[in-house]
Structure 1
Amino acid sequence: MSHIRILADHIANQIAAGEVVERPASVIKELVENSLDANAAFVDIEVRQSGGFLRVTDDGDGMGSDDVLLCIERHATSKIRDEKQLSALSTLGFRGEALPSIASVSWMVILSRQQDQELGTRAEIRHGVLRSVHQDGCPRGTTVEVRHLFGNVPARRKFLKSVRTEMYHVEEVVRNLALAHQHVGFTLKIEGRTVLNLLPDTDVELRVREIFQYQGPLLPIPPQPADAESTMAVEGYLLLPETAPAGRAQLRLLVNGRPVQDGMLRHAVNEGLQGFLMKGYRPAGVLLLTIAPDQVDVNVHPAKREVRFRQANVVHGMVAGQVRRAMNDYQQQLRTSLFSRPGPSSDQEAVERSESINILLPSFSQLTTAEPGTAPCLAVSPPQARVEHQTSETAAQETVQISSEPTGSYGGLTLIGQLFSLYLLCEKDGRFIVIDQHAAHERLLYGKLLQEFLAARVPQQSLLFPVTIELTPVQAETLEEHVDEVAALGVAVEHFGGTTWLVKAVPALTSHIEPQGLLREILDALRGPMRQEDGRPVPPAIDELLASMACKAAIKAGNRLQPVEMLKLLAQMEEGTIFSHCPHGRPVLKTFTAQEVERWFHRHGG
């Protein structure tokens, strides 16, 4: 006697429902996707009784009476005919499992009419059993009602979360699908309250703002320029890094109109924002990837939440590159907004025609090793006593040339002053601009260090007497393996015997830092990831080390700056390729409109 038996259809459907129908939101997802596949221009979703009543109505193509009966049969679908179509899917659904699975664990009513029919078809199904079917009057399109979800499998209901959580998931499903299909209008009502009311035929930006209820600035990711050989394109909108949320990720990923969860795509976006996002913060916004159907497999997850790309590395590189280009465009727009001039800069003219007033700067020195076409960076030097003369070997104090008629503006920015010995206060065109002097200088020094490291020309400061350092065996081994990288970072070392080494020179920018501590930090960093990553000019360990060196060398909070030093910092910011964020992702500046400042004092409209 055989012990293996073929399951009854209603049991098989209940098993399938366990994979496809996890909660009320799963039902909404499957029904709305069917509406979108049916070319609906408008989809209305209603949820009542804490998810006990679900209804989705569309104005799509509708179904004839035969199709209404077939749609509740397992593996019955109008979307594929053969295996070739399975590898080139253009629809959201294709398995023919959703409706029979939902019907097997609920009471379902389907009402549908096609354009050329006078009457529609109404079918009632209870726990997978067809109870009645007859003609009925209805508008063109399809309405599906689901009641008593999991009524015949009460164990499944025990796994549902609170009503608030379940309704949150319903909203998320509708938001994600609405982001992917801007040409379709959506309404969502929960317990009679309108949660979403989205008009059809809107652009991506408007839909993003409606979904996120966000009116602030967005970072546009424009579509990649047309390429006849390209099989993919990416576009979208992200919140600017300084407004990105901490903790939970709020990045919506859409592949060919399908909301997905994909770690590779998230990593690509993070890589594109590398150096702009603070640790612990996550990108937020929407990314829409369009790719040839034969280049992506959507049939790898029961609920189709995950996809697999045929050339994942190519997709990763393109997405990261597009996000990075968008940030570079943002830098250029910000530079124009801050430093644009109606005519020649009177400030630069003033510096050029300066009458050589020498001012001793006990906290700063101007590097003279800048490459042609780049601005020299101010570097922190240790505080020293005031002296009356200088030598070429002394970098602790330098003279700075300023005009005999000092100016309080640069590039259209009016310099107001310094606050808390940390923030530069500026004004331009009715905007109040606050600049973090440490973050601004740190970004500039990081860019300079990176260029010098890539060119293997980090300026060195020779020590008057070599410093002896005793390393641990692990540190000594790391130094022997990476002695070339250490030299490229501007640290000259010599083996003294055993695990003892001599430090003979250090990077000029960090000459005020204790050499032993600097070398140990470098060695600890070099034990980190050294694999070259896509889009990064240097390995992550080197990148983090350069950022740390720049941070230590930059102007500190509490450094009181003279007006000429503030103007010099503004000039260097304009010259910098990137200046909006420090290399650790902290914002460099914050802009307030006149209206925002007026609201601080409740001066509305006056």
Structure 2
Amino acid sequence: MAKIRILPELLANRIAAGEVVERPASVVKELLENSLDAGADRIEVEIEGGGTRLIRVLDNGSGMDEDDVLLSFERHGTSKIHESHDLVAINTLGFRGEAIPSIASVSKMTITSRTEQSPLGTMVVFDYGQLQKVHETGCSRGTVIEVRNLFARTPARKKFLRTARTEIGHIDENLKNYALASPATSFTLKIDGRETLRLDHGHDLEDRLRSILNYRDQFIPVGNPGKKSKGRCLHGFLIPPEHTSAGLCRMRLFINGRAIRDRLMSHAVFEGLRGFLLKGRSPGGYLHLRIPAEEVDVNVHPAKHEVRFRNSGDIHQFIKQSVEAAMRLHQQTLQAAIFPARRANPLAPLHLDSSDTATRQQLTFYTEPDPVEQSTVEEPSRETYPHRQPEPRRQRHCTDLSATQPIAPGAQSQVSSPGPVADFSENSRHIQKTDIQVIGQYKNLYIFCQAGDQLLVIDQHAAHERLLYEQFRKQYIGGRVSSQTLMFPESLELSPSQCLLVENNKEELSRMGFAITEFGGATYVISAVPALAGQCRASEIFLDVLDSCGSSGSTDLRGGKLENILATMACKAAVKSGDGLSPEEIKALLDKMAEAELFSHCPHGRPVLKSFSDAEIQKWFHRT
């Protein structure tokens, strides 16, 4: 007797339902996809009992005649796939032909539908996979599908459902996703007879996104929906990094009108926002990628939540660069608002040449206009940055605003240090090349300015840290970070793991501006440090760099480790809380911010500045 048997049709449908119909939200998702594929521009969803008692989806799409309604209940019955070649380039949301028979096998299902050409519609009723009746009926053009008593005869599936509130939350999320994917379609959601969501097609995508995310501030636009590169187009809106939250945030990803969960796209967004997001924060917003259908396989998951790209590396780079370009454009917008008197300084487009070195591709550095000259003793940078006030145990290392070279620790400085308290009353207007008026410092950390009718608060450490970080990056990609020879070299004892890091990464450490030699045993001598960090204790910044390297025994550029090292160097070299700045030093800082390509966040993601409008301030004091 044969052991292999063909399963009955009803049992096969219920097995397929286990893959397709996970919960009530899965039913709503499948029915929404069918309505959108039918060309509907109005969709209404009604839910009762968390979706187990009733799910009703009404649309005004093209509808079906009696034959098509009956055929839709057959397994793999679909109007969207005709031959095997169609699977290579799928342009519709629903195509498997499993949703309707699978849902009908675990519920009481009624379909009422009419085409434009038919005077009457058709009603078909199925009771847990069994056809009950078929008859003509009067109805509007389109389709109405009712699903009642879901999982009533499959208690094992029903007992794994969550509370009604949780299930409704999943349904609401599905509806909002497809409302974003199809902004020209209006959506309505009713829960137990009460309308909880209405999104009319009269609102544009940005307004719809604000309503869905409950977010009222400005977005950062990404890409251009009318501009394509190799047939690819990315557009959307990002929540500014300073407004994001910890944990999984409100990032919605779409491909060719389909809401998905994709690690590659999520990682590309994270990489594009590197240096802008605080640790533990997640990006938020909406990104829609449109690519040729043959470049993506949407048939790798029964519920079609996941996709597979033919050229995943190219897609990752495309999304990452688009996000980076959006953030750079956002910097220009901020500069135009904060520094309106700034000279026009167009930014070069973000570009990675395929012939670049691996380091250049992985780090995505911007091109340095003037390569750094390499010599036995590197000349310190003549960039004008403010530096910190005297510290108890060492002399202050400062850079004069007239571009005097920095004075190394241990040398005699000819530059007088400004006093701890600066007088801004007479200097605040004429020291700025912009129309910003400096009010003063608060706790020797925050710089208060008046920019037009706005109050501007700047974190001096975060601002200086970002500027130094960008300078380090440009010098590194130029070939070598400018180094400064110490008048009195420092020796330090290293642990075995630290010694291994030094020995395995001598070339990288030298490229970062350090000169270190073995003195015997675990003792090393530091004779030069990066010029921009010359005011720091050599041993302190060197040990911090080693800590940033980790314990892998090598500097892994691919994991973003080098950016962390450069950020550590910039953090140590930047002015600190408690460092009083003179008006001239504040001028140098603001001028550099006005010229920088990136300035709004420190390399660790903390915001550099915060503006308060006149209306906000008046509201605080009830003057409105």
Query: TM-score, normalising length from structure 1?
Result: 0.89
> Shift of the alpha carbon at 1:160?
0.7
- Is the Cα contact below 8 Å between 1:368 and 1:376 reproduced in 2? no
Aligned to 1:591: 611
Residues 181-214 of structure 1, C-alpha deviations (whole Å, 9 max, x = no match): 1111111111222222111254332221222122
Flag the structure with higher strand content.
1
Q: Which residue of 1 aligns with 2:571?
A: 551
* Shift of residue 400, structure 1, vs aligned partner: 8.4
1:281 and 1:247 map into 2 onto residues whose CA distance is 6
> Equivalences for 1:300-449 in 2 at 5 Å?
300-341=300-341, 369-370=380-381, 375-380=383-388, 382-383=390-391, 394=411, 398-399=415-416, 406-408=427-429, 410=432, 411-449=434-472
Q: Provide the C-alpha distance between the structure 1 equivalents of 2:491 and 2:417, rounded to a whole number of angstroms.
A: 36
2:513 pairs with one of 490, 493, 498: 490
Distance between the aligned counterparts of 2:285 and 2:239, measured in 1?
A: 6
Query: 1:222 is matched with which residue?
Result: 223
Q: Return the offset for 1:576.
A: 1.6
Query: What secondary structure sits across from 2:387 in the alignment?
Result: strand
Q: Is contact 1:381-1:511 (8 Å) kept?
A: no
Native 8 Å contact 2:428 2:439 kept in 1 = no
Query: Could you tell me how far apart the structure 2 residues matched to 1:523 and 1:166 are?
Result: 49
> Structure 1 residue 513: deviation in Å?
3.4
Cross-structure match for 1:563:
583
Equivalent position SS for 1:133:
strand
2:151 aligned counterpart, secondary structure:
coil
Instruction: Please tell me the residue identity of whatever aligns with 1:223.
Output: N
Cα separation, 2, equivalents of 1:386 and 1:69: 85
Question: How far, CA to CA, are the matches of 1:159 and 1:112 in structure 2?
Answer: 33
Q: Per-residue CA shift, 1:104-163, capped at 9, x if unaligned?
A: 001111000000111100111110111111001110000001110001101111111111
- Identity %, equivalent residues: 44
The CA deviation at 1:395 is 7.1
AA at the equivalent of 1:427: Q
SS at match of 2:341: coil
Task: Give 3-state SS (helix, strand or coil) of 1:596's partner.
Answer: helix
Of stretches 114-123 and 206-215 in structure 1, the one that deviates more from structure 2 is 206-215
Given that 1:249 and 1:282 are in contact with CA atoms closer than 8 Å, whether structure 2 keeps it comes out as: yes
1:507 aligns with 2:530: yes
State the AA in 2 paired with 1:246.
Answer: A
1:408/1:135 CA distance change after superposition, 3 Å: same
User: In the aligned structure 2, how far is the partner of 1:555 from the partner of 1:517?
Assistant: 16
Contact 1:300 1:307 in 2 (8 A): yes
Unaligned runs of at least 5 residues, structure 1: 345-366, 534-538
Deviations 1:482-517 (A, max 9, x none): 111111222111122333221112223333434333
Q: Between 394-403 and 141-150, report the one with greater CA deviation.
A: 394-403
Structure 1 counterpart of 2:192? 191
CA–CA distance in structure 1, aligned partners of residues 174 and 90 of structure 2:
21
1:582 is matched with 602
Contact kept in structure 1, 2:456 and 2:611, CA below 8 Å:
yes
Q: Is the CA contact (8 Å cut-off) linking 1:150 and 1:157 kept in structure 2?
A: yes
What's the CA shift for 1:455?
Answer: 2.7
For the residue of structure 2 that corresponds to 1:464, the secondary structure is strand
The answer (yes or no) to whether the contact 2:386–2:586 under 8 Å persists in 1 is no
Letter in 1 for 2:259: P
Matched, 1:203 2:223: no
Change (3 A) 1:16 1:31: same
Equivalent position SS for 1:380:
coil
Aligned residues: 572
Q: Greater CA deviation, 17-26 or 481-490?
A: 481-490
CA distance in 2, matches of 1:490, 1:378: 21
1:498-556: CA deviations, max 9, x gaps?
Answer: 332211122233334343333333233334674444xxxxx622210111111111111
Cα pair distance change 1:474/1:288, threshold 3 Å: same
Deviates more, 1:451-460 or 1:479-488: 451-460
Q: Pairwise CA RMSD of aligned residues?
A: 2.6
Once the two structures are overlaid, the 10-residue window that deviates more, 155-164 or 492-501, is: 492-501
Name the residue aligned to 1:15: 15
How far apart in 2 are the matches of 1:601 and 1:192? 44
Cα drift, residue 467 of structure 1: 2.3
Q: Is the 8 A contact 2:10 2:105 kept in 1?
A: yes
Letter in 2 for 1:24: P
CA distance 1:576–1:333, change in 2 (3 Å): same
TM superposition shift of 1:396: 5.5
The residue type paired with residue 584 of structure 2 is: V
| 1:4 Cα deviation from its structure 2 partner | 1.4
**Taking structure 1 as reference, are residues 199 and 433 closer, same or farther at Cα in structure 2, changes over 3 Å only?**
same
Alignment match, 1:452: 475
The residue type equivalent to 1:9 in the other structure is: E
1:77-96 aligned at under 5 Å gives the runs 77-96=78-97
* Paired residue type of 2:503: E
Within the candidate set 469, 485, 504, 1:481 is matched to 504
